[in-house]
Amino acid sequence: MDLNYTESQNQFRLTARRWLAAHVPPAKLPHFDASREGFEAHRAWERSLHDGGWSVVSWPAEYGGRGLDLIEWLIFEEEYYRAGAPGRVNQNGICLLAPTLMEFGTAAQKRRFLPPMAAGEEIWAQAWSEPQAGSDLANIRATVTQDGDALVLNGHKIWSSRAVFADWAFGLFRQPGSERHKGMSLVFFSLNAPGVTINPIRKMDGHVGFAELFLEDVRVPLFNRLGEEGQGWNICMATAGFERGLLLRSPARYQHAAAKLAALYQAHREDADPALAQEVARAWMNAEAYALAIYAMSSRLLAGGKIGAEASTNKIFWSELDIQLYQTALALLGPHAELLPEAPAGAPGDDWLEGYVFALAGPIYAGSNEIQRNIIAERMLGLPR
């Protein structure tokens, strides 16, 4: 891994910085889980990114990208967070489904689904978990049967991110009678299709960030199955690797939070417990360590490597780092923390409480950290089940 940027990469950084400075909305957008209005404001931002050529910089140009590599994607992410740009409402599609679709999809599927995803025209939800199958996806019970050139979906999905306002979902289904890792298929379905019922689930902050989905004889074309019948588990694990290991949580997010935390400490150091200086330093170093690890992983991928079970180590690290950053900020702020969500966007300390509440979910989604530790023990360390 070369720690030095090339002249071309430095120029790319400046170009991205200038565009973001000119186009990032001056006022903070409403949260995309809070209301339809907020969701559509974020969709409009996705379109603006696409129009400028910044929506999916690492995708091939034919699908709306710039054809850049992972290192340049990391550079763009650094500039994106530096500019205080809005959160990406279509990250389930762009960061999870799209890499999987590019690896396993047909040319026709890529042409159909990738361009509108890049443009923000179709926002995607993830429909994997079920009431009896959260982190243990091999226990799903939702079914798929083939009827001529159509697939028929039935079942109950829960904790489906973005599903309240999104347009499409990608879900894991099994052939009736199959068990565990056998007989699964990954299928795309419109959330407006007949037979789909969406029940919002409100989070602690009152936002409808999740939904439960009831599917009753939902018919979709055979075209909407990714890969061959029964390949769903292997395809799903590839998607999980992107979710846990690299694309869902870029290091720039944590570096940006660590920089804000350092500024917060400087603003409160006169009244702060001296021991918190060590916690701030530790959080900052962990954010930098995560960034270096992801740069190393990206370099290995560019050289032809793959994301394996080590994605689980990344998932544990970034989810626990997120909590560490926000816990330290709240310790600095003390009883004043709950007053700060009304602070001007970008001010040191704004949204720390909201961020902490969200961070608490990190060890649960994308596969709970308890499950990730089992994966590390069995697949990386060779320990018995």
pLDDT top residue among 219 and 132: 219
Both 373 and 259 in one domain: the answer is yes
Digit-coded pLDDT (tens) for 245-297:
455 578 999 999 999 999 999 988 888 888 899 999 999 999 999 999 888 88
What are the angstrom distances between the C-alpha of 314 and each of 62, 134, 363, 373?
31, 20, 12, 11
Sequence-distant (6+) residues with CB within 8 A of 8 are none
Tokens of 125: 């939800």
Report the C-alpha gap between 3 and 265 in whole angstroms: 29
In this structure, are 222 and 280 located in the same domain? no
49 vs 229, more confident: 49
| Confidence check: pLDDT of 349 > 70 | no
* pLDDT digits 0-9 by tens, 86-125: 989 998 899 889 989 998 999 999 999 999 999 999 999 9
CB 161, CB 126: distance < 8 Å: yes
Pairing of strands 168-174, 124-127: parallel
Let me know whether 261 and 372 are in one domain. yes
The per-residue pLDDT for 305 is 76
Token pair of 153 as six digits = 């979906």
pLDDT score for 20: 97
- Examine the domain organization and report whether 136 and 195 are in the same domain: yes
Mean pLDDT estimate for the chain: 87
| SS3 at position 363 | coil
If asked whether residues 259 and 338 sit together in one domain, one would say: yes
**Residue 84 structural domain:** 7-89
- Give the chain's domain count: 3
Do 190 and 225 belong to one domain? yes
Q: 3-state secondary structure string, 67-115?
A: CCCHHHHHHHHHHHHHCCCCCCCCHHHHHHHHHHHHHHCCHHHHHHHHH
If you ran DSSP here, which 8-state letter would residue 208 be given? -
Does a structural domain hold residue 313? yes
pTM for this model (two decimals): 0.83
On whether residue 172 sits in a domain, the answer given is: yes
Active site positions, annotated: 243
